[in-house]
Structure 1
Amino acid sequence: MQTEAAVLRISIAVSLLVSALGIGFGLMSGSFSITFDGVYSLLDSAMSLLTLFAARLITSYARDEGISERLKERFTMGFWHLEPLILALNGSLLIALTLYALINAVSSLLAGGRALEFGWAIGYAVITLLLCSVMGFTERRANRRLQSDFIRLDMLGWVMSAGITAALLVAFSIGYLVESTPWAWIVPYVDPAVLSLVCLVLIVMPVSTVRKALADILRVTPAELKAHVDEVATATCEKYGFLSYRAYVSRMGRARKIELYFMVPEEGAKRHLREWDALRTEISEALGDAGPDRWLSIVFTTDSVWAD
């Protein structure tokens, strides 16, 4: 669990196991909510595979490891743009799937509910809740160090699955206890009712992830990063007597792209290339976060046409 790829590989394996359990137990118990849980896990597994592929591309390109020359020629700006695209797709699919389940649950309630086998349902809920809780806790602990948006979304998926399963376990237990009592008339409504409540809660959870991913896709300037760049650029202008600057900042998933243009007066432009490079190094250190996911360009010019 030391790398992003290792965490995602384990998540995919457990997701496939949960999916198989959900679909199998759902068919045996006659529960649409369990079947939904299995399909949800299957979708999560498919998206995790895509996420793992993209994470490998991004990391390999940033570190210049294991990328073919053909890919380098086709994608000279790297693969960072894949991250927000996948996050937006993943979050949108989760919302769509939850909305579909909600519609089916309401339809079932209006039709008088459905009968199910509580023994199989409770057994499934106990096993799956344990698996989801362990994975959510494990990914949360791993991501404290890795700080990956991919893992964060995957962890959200496990938390959502654990929430679904916990609600199912409570509902199935109640249904089992009242099955032979005067309250037995509520039994057919247990499955669609709890699924409706779970969907209403879960449908809003991926919204923030989709919103952030769309902001990255649309290249919305992150205010906090722009403020920091402006602060460094202003201090540089004051220190070296530059006339002004232009700053262009964007975020693409984990990548931060910064372009800085400094307007230099004619009399101050007569420096050796080594001096300009030393000044670039100074600005880079002031900006900080000089990792493989930062794309930094610094230009000095006497003509503002090159900056606007």
Structure 2
Amino acid sequence: MNARYRRLEERKLIKISMSIGSVLTIWAIITGILGDSKSIIFDALFSMVGISLSGVSLFVSNFIRKPDDENLPFGRSQFEPFAITVQSSVIIFLCLYSLATSIMDITDGGKVVELGVALPYLITSILGCFGLWLFFKNKAAKLESEYVRIESTEWQLDALLSLGVLIGLSLGYFLKDTSLDYITPYLDPGMVLIISILFLRIPAQTFIKNIRELLQFAPDDEVEERIHNAAEKMVLDQGFLDSLVRVAKTGSSYTVEIDFLLPMSLSAMEVAELDVLRQELYDQIKGSFPMWLTISFTTERKWMI
């Protein structure tokens, strides 16, 4: 896929997400205040954070594609997992904060929320967010974009949050004037508590994944396996003694270093011959992703380590 097309599509999709999210956030704030619903206000705060972080994604998406310079000679790809790590951290904090406030509300006796005020917003939010989640999920798969995948995750969480709030408030409506009516004040903070716990898993996984990239752990994916297989094949085909492959993934970019140990009988190989081998290996491992590739040849093992 053309890198420029992918970049333009990412920016367009993030702008669409921010625009729709802004409308739903304003509506959620008004509904939450009028209905005195902690869970809907949490929904609004979650959307607000999502919009802010989408803006950060938009900036970083453009920033990392600028040419290398003397301050950043190895590129800017590390800013992508850094931005996503910040996004995940903020969402984790929001979940933990909501978890704490919901526990406080439960210990204070809970609160009653009127379903009538919240119903139009919740139905629109559920249908709209589920639709947008599927739309962005599909686009993320086509573009192979981590930014768009994060957007789809946020819409999924928004949809599930609104659904949880609706279930909680509906329960309160049906329990009114029954022997279980005393449960009603605890439903709103109870739903926030449950949703906060459930929501923690996705941003926590994203946080761990991107921290691994920032610390340059091996990616353990199909690309790394392909690179190892190609290097091993060249060792066998060319009669080399050994190879050492190092692969790190930062954002969408791979940093690859491959060292080949040659027998002394091949020490007189011309640079042009080695360049032919480099091109052959590159053709086997290249993909739609940016790659910082170093391939070296030596007859002494100490230069491989």
TM-score (norm 1): 0.89
In structure 1, C-alpha distance between the alignment counterparts of 2:186 and 2:233, rounded to whole Å? 66
Q: Deviations over 1:51-84 (max 9, x none)?
A: 12112233x34xxxxx5xxx62322211111121
Where in structure 2 are the equivalents of 1:86-101 lying within 5 Å?
86-101=83-98
Who is 2:166 aligned against? 169
Percent sequence identity is 25
Contact kept? 2:114, 2:169, Cα under 8 Å: no
Who is 1:64 aligned against? none
In structure 2, C-alpha distance between the alignment counterparts of 1:124 and 1:300, rounded to whole Å? 64
Who is 2:25 aligned against? 19
1:4 aligns with 2:1: no
SS for the counterpart of 1:250 is strand
For 2:13, the aligned partner's letter is: V
Of 91, 102, 106 in structure 2, the residue corresponding to residue 105 of structure 1 is 102
Who is 1:271 aligned against? 269
Q: CA RMSD in A?
A: 2.1
For 1:248, the aligned partner's letter is: R
Where in structure 2 are the equivalents of 1:1-308 lying within 5 Å?
3-58=9-64, 60-61=65-66, 67=67, 72-181=69-178, 183-224=180-221, 225-289=223-287, 291-308=288-305
SS for the counterpart of 1:73 is coil
Query: What residue ranges of structure 2 are gaps of 5+ in the alignment?
Result: none
Deviates more, 1:291-300 or 1:278-287: 291-300
SS for the counterpart of 2:293 is strand
Q: Deviations over 1:179-223 (max 9, x none)?
A: 455544333222112212212211222222111111111111123
Give the 4+ runs in structure 1 shifted more than 4 A: 180-183
Shift of 1:48: 1.0
Contact kept? 1:122, 1:173, Cα under 8 Å: no
For 1:121, the aligned partner's letter is: A
SS for the counterpart of 2:147 is helix
In structure 1, C-alpha distance between the alignment counterparts of 2:174 and 2:229, rounded to whole Å? 64
In structure 2, C-alpha distance between the alignment counterparts of 1:276 and 1:303, rounded to whole Å? 16
Shift of 1:157: 1.1
In structure 2, C-alpha distance between the alignment counterparts of 1:222 and 1:197, rounded to whole Å? 33
In structure 2, C-alpha distance between the alignment counterparts of 1:287 and 1:102, rounded to whole Å? 46
Query: What residue ranges of structure 1 are gaps of 5+ in the alignment?
Result: 62-66
For 1:7, the aligned partner's letter is: L
How many residue pairs get matched? 298
SS for the counterpart of 1:261 is strand
Deviates more, 1:274-283 or 1:261-270: 261-270
For 1:281, the aligned partner's letter is: Q
For 1:288, the aligned partner's letter is: K
In structure 1, C-alpha distance between the alignment counterparts of 2:63 and 2:301, rounded to whole Å? 37
